Amino acid sequence: MKKALLLFALLAMVNALAQELKSPSEFLGYELGTQFTRHHEVVDYYQYLAKVAPDRVQLNEYGKTNERRPLLLAYVSSAENIKNLENIRAEHLKNTSGEGNPSKAIVWLSYNVHGNESVSTEASMQTTYELLTTKSDYLENTVVLVDPCINPDGRDRYVNWYNETKNTPNNVDPNSKEHHEGWLSGRANHYMFDLNRDWAWLTQVESQQRLKFFNKWLPHVHVDFHEQGVDNPYYFSPAAEPYHEVITDFQRDFQKTVGKNHARYFDANGWFYFTKEVFDLLYPSYGDTYPTYNGGIGMTYEQGGSGRAGLGIITSIGDTLTLKDRIAHHHTTGLSTVEVASKNAQKLNDEFKKFYTNKNFTYKSYVLNGDQDKIDALTRLLDQHEITYQAGRQATVKGFRYKTGKTGSMKTSSNSLIIPGDQSKGTLVKVLFEPNAKLSDSVTYDITAWSLPHAYGLDAIATTTAVSGTAYAKTESATTNLSESSYAFLTDWNSMNDARFLAELIQENIRVRYNYKPFTLDGKSYPRGTLIIAKGDNKNHKAYLGTLQKVAEKHNKNLTPAQTGFVDSGKDFGSGWVQVVNDVKIAVLSGEPTSTLRFGEIWHFFEQQLHYPFALIDADYMNRVDLSEYDVLVLPGGWGYRRFMKEDTLKDLKEWVRNGGKLIAMGGSIDAISGEKGFGLNKKEIKKDSAHTMRPFDGSERERIKNAITGAIFKTKVDNTHPLAFGYDDNYFTLKLGNDAFDYMSEGNVVYLEEKQNKPVSGFAGSIAQKNINKTLVFGVEDFGRGSVVYMVDNPLFRGFWENGKLFFANALFMVD
Ligand SMILES: [Zn+2]
């Protein structure tokens, strides 16, 4: 009896708890909007919701960040739906193959992808709370997935910085320090990658872990919550042109439906907003486009504020923008989105099904040939996107040939990769693989080309009839036993995987050499840059063979034994034309003159791709560092070099190179070290457009873009006899990201645009910019005293996705003397 009573009392308590869900303000102990909530507190609140309302909230930790913060996904719906969650998901996914009869709307709300756009996560808590209380009727036919913070490392970086820095009480004066984040803002993730540029390339752990769950749900509606400048009114859908041509009429219309619903609330409150401007739908790696190319309605919402706004700030028209205002706006659009989805659940399901029927795009198959490492790297990406592929057969295929830009043919074999256009991810396949994305309008602030065959350096053909293949078998790890009697082992050098292999051998103290001239041995020819691992070089290494075997297996490298160093043709292994790879000690400049994104790409490259140590040297104290301790210094791209590169700094740098240092200068750093007092590269004189008199004010944006290259692919000429280009063909497709142009040098031009190579093979380039880049340098090496300067005008590490450029960077580190 007593026991039953106790149980009853307990149940009553749980019930009461469930009914009286604490609001974020009640739970956190301060009114939402009066403080920034740290990530662990956000996690606590969602855990609390899942604990007191387990019938309506399920919480899933889908991963961890680089700094070990949890990544969360909260499933929020009615008790009935949460009970049937797995069935609802299964039924929804059946729709991608035209089966099933789903009726629920699936809405995914993603908050705070940019860490310092910090209102988003605060708004997520209020929105989730209201969905569970006052707006619970929306949830009867709708499942809402809430990711409270896509980028916890960046957000906590901002929040902690703000808490440390702010006045008490906070100061709305825009000059106060709390409105001025430093060089490293909270926008990007740990490695300073912009996670809103990474949905398609998946270079970052946050994106990789999230996509697994995204693919399990493929939401009907996805919202990415952002912030923009303090003075901007709110932005919501419909998005601006250009729209990618694969976006359906329904997807366009629904953007409008959603926008009009938001407008109702904003109008009623007298809030300002704008639509159809700035934020376009083309580049596939955003949080709005990527879900759109997967059949959903992907939208970006932008509140005015960002890292500058703090808890409150005076705007340029003298109003005070508070965090509370910002929360109210994001909260309103969040709820309004779920409302629209709920009202249109059946329509969303019907249209989603339609999206997944065969679209009959022009290209039916994409067929790729090339180095196995590159094919493997591409299949790893395809697997994550759940794009299916096959192996080729012995045949000849005809179609559009990427390398020549014309119709042509290519022989296929079992090593070829075939990607069928007709598959459930067919739209995404078209977007990622087509030779040239059609631009409905050329004003976009991001790259306009990304075609994966060029990015991965593969020979490819797009065919207008389907090419049939066979089941694809993953390559097995090489397991040949290495024999002690072998004079040397030989292996190829032409991919990022090979660079990783070399980097590990160096760290295992295994000495490696490479050839400057091609040679033949045992009837096989070996190009320049072949790795030669010789017994004679490693006689003092205690575990030489075992270590080599282990590292080769780890990187799936086939080693060809050689019984002699006496080659059939070319230079013998003991020749001066065969050099030992140096165990280079590397420093990378960081801080103010560099761009965080450009520095971050290099940081991530060393730690997560190449796995090779480097010293991170901040510009603040570089002049106190003895650079002679380092063999290589990398200057990442950036726009602060003019101020940083004072006469003394440049003089010291030249002295260091003259004494044998190797300087790798990238992007914006090049300008600051060239010219009269610098090294030998010269900026190309920009020819002024003489026809700019009496230009009407309206349309000046159109005029400006004549100078612009925001990201387009160009075919370049390569001198692959130079160590900077070992492992490359005599052409390379570069992703050009700006109109910076440098004249050819007297020698050492390794990758360059020849006459008439100034038209992009894919993407947009303004007419004046095209003229300026004609006959200019892309990558080159200047010998200077006993050292050298490697110039990288284009950025082979951009966003970590241009796989085929990375070997240039590895060559600069290891192969260039
Ligand atoms: Zn943003």
558 contacts 478 by C-beta, under 8 angstroms: yes
Q: Is the confidence at residue 515, as pLDDT, over 90? A: yes
Q: Is the confidence at residue 550, as pLDDT, over 90? A: yes
Instruction: State how far the Cα of 697 lies from the Cα of 555, in Å rounded to an integer.
Output: 58
**Distance of CA 757 from the midpoint of ligand 1 (Å):** 35
Instruction: State how far the Cα of 334 lies from the Cα of 234, in Å rounded to an integer.
Output: 13
Q: Phi/psi class of residue 420: alpha, beta or left (left: φ > 0; alpha: ψ in -120 to 50)? A: beta
**Distance of CA 814 from the midpoint of ligand 1 (Å):** 37
**Distance of CA 119 from the midpoint of ligand 1 (Å):** 11
- Using DSSP, state whether 450 is helix, strand or coil: coil
User: pLDDT category, 696, cuts 50, 70, 90?
Assistant: low
Instruction: State the average pLDDT over residues 296-316.
Output: 98
Higher-pLDDT residue of 36 and 473 is 36
Name the helix (H) or strand (E) containing 520.
strand 519-521
State the Rg of the chain over Cα. 29
Q: Is the confidence at residue 778, as pLDDT, over 90? A: yes
453 contacts 460 by C-beta, under 8 angstroms: yes
**Distance of CA 117 from the midpoint of ligand 1 (Å):** 6
User: pLDDT category, 17, cuts 50, 70, 90?
Assistant: very low
Residue 26 tokens read as: 């009640």
**Distance of CA 77 from the midpoint of ligand 1 (Å):** 27
**Distance of CA 112 from the midpoint of ligand 1 (Å):** 8
Q: Which residues pair with 632 in a beta bridge?
A: 586, 662
Work out the percent of the chain whose per-residue pLDDT is above 70.
Answer: 95
Q: Which residues pair with 587 in a beta bridge?
A: 615, 633
Q: Is the confidence at residue 1, as pLDDT, over 70? A: no
Instruction: State how far the Cα of 793 lies from the Cα of 816, in Å rounded to an integer.
Output: 17
**Distance of CA 114 from the midpoint of ligand 1 (Å):** 5
- Using DSSP, state whether 22 is helix, strand or coil: coil
Q: Phi/psi class of residue 356: alpha, beta or left (left: φ > 0; alpha: ψ in -120 to 50)? A: alpha
**Distance of CA 278 from the midpoint of ligand 1 (Å):** 13
Count of CA atoms in the C-beta half-sphere (13 A) of 437: 33
The closest alpha carbon to 217, from 366, 102, 312, belongs to: 102
Residues with CB under 5 Å of ion ligand 1 are 114, 117, 226
If 0-12 CB within 10 Å is exposed, 13-18 middle and 19+ buried, where does residue 547 land?
A: middle
Q: Is the confidence at residue 156, as pLDDT, over 70? A: yes
The closest alpha carbon to 332, from 270, 265, 277, belongs to: 265
50 contacts 58 by C-beta, under 8 angstroms: yes
**Distance of CA 187 from the midpoint of ligand 1 (Å):** 8
Q: Which residue has the tokens 């993730």?
A: 189
Instruction: State the average pLDDT over residues 267-274.
Output: 98
Q: What is the pLDDT of residues 401-431, one digit of tens each?
A: 999 999 999 999 999 999 999 999 999 999 9
Residue 704 tokens read as: 């400006």
The contacts of residue 506 (CB under 8 Å, 6+ apart) are 512, 581, 583, 612, 814
**Distance of CA 322 from the midpoint of ligand 1 (Å):** 18
**Distance of CA 90 from the midpoint of ligand 1 (Å):** 32
Phi, psi of 729, deg, nearest 5: -75, -175
User: pLDDT category, 474, cuts 50, 70, 90?
Assistant: confident
Phi, psi of 333, deg, nearest 5: -70, -35
The pLDDT score that the predictor gives to residue 8 is 52
Q: What is the pLDDT of residues 23-61, one digit of tens each?
A: 999 999 999 999 999 999 999 999 999 999 999 999 999
**Distance of CA 780 from the midpoint of ligand 1 (Å):** 35
**Distance of CA 294 from the midpoint of ligand 1 (Å):** 21
The contacts of residue 463 (CB under 8 Å, 6+ apart) are 363, 364, 365, 366, 367, 397, 398, 399, 400
User: pLDDT category, 479, cuts 50, 70, 90?
Assistant: low
**Distance of CA 299 from the midpoint of ligand 1 (Å):** 12
Residue 114 tokens read as: 């940019």
**Distance of CA 228 from the midpoint of ligand 1 (Å):** 7
* Amino acid (1-letter code) at residue 152: P
**Distance of CA 224 from the midpoint of ligand 1 (Å):** 8
Axis-axis angle for helices 323-343, 249-269 (nearest 10): 130
- Checking DSSP bridges between strand 320-322 and strand 312-314, what pairing results, if any? antiparallel
Torsion of CA 377, 380, 384, 385, to 10 degrees: 60
Residue 161 tokens read as: 């910085």
Axis-axis angle for helices 372-385, 496-507 (nearest 10): 110
120 contacts 159 by C-beta, under 8 angstroms: no
Exposure string (b/e) for 370-379, b if CB count within 10 Å is 16 or more?
A: bbebbbebbb
Residue 578 tokens read as: 């065969």
Give the DSSP per-residue string, 293-345.
HTTSEEEEEEEE-GGGTTTEEE-TTS-EEEHHHHHHHHHHHHHHHHHHHHHTH
Question: In this predicted structure, which of 16-25, 217-226, 519-528 has the lowest mean pLDDT?
Answer: 16-25
Whether the bond between 636 and the residue before it is cis, its omega within 30 degrees of 0, is no
**Distance of CA 113 from the midpoint of ligand 1 (Å):** 7
- Using DSSP, state whether 95 is helix, strand or coil: helix
Query: Whole-prediction pTM value?
Result: 0.95
Give the CA angle between residues 495, 285, 243 to the nearest 5°. Answer: 130
User: pLDDT category, 641, cuts 50, 70, 90?
Assistant: very high
Average pLDDT, the chain: 94
The pLDDT score that the predictor gives to residue 444 is 78
First to last CA, the chain: 87
Instruction: State the average pLDDT over residues 794-801.
Output: 98
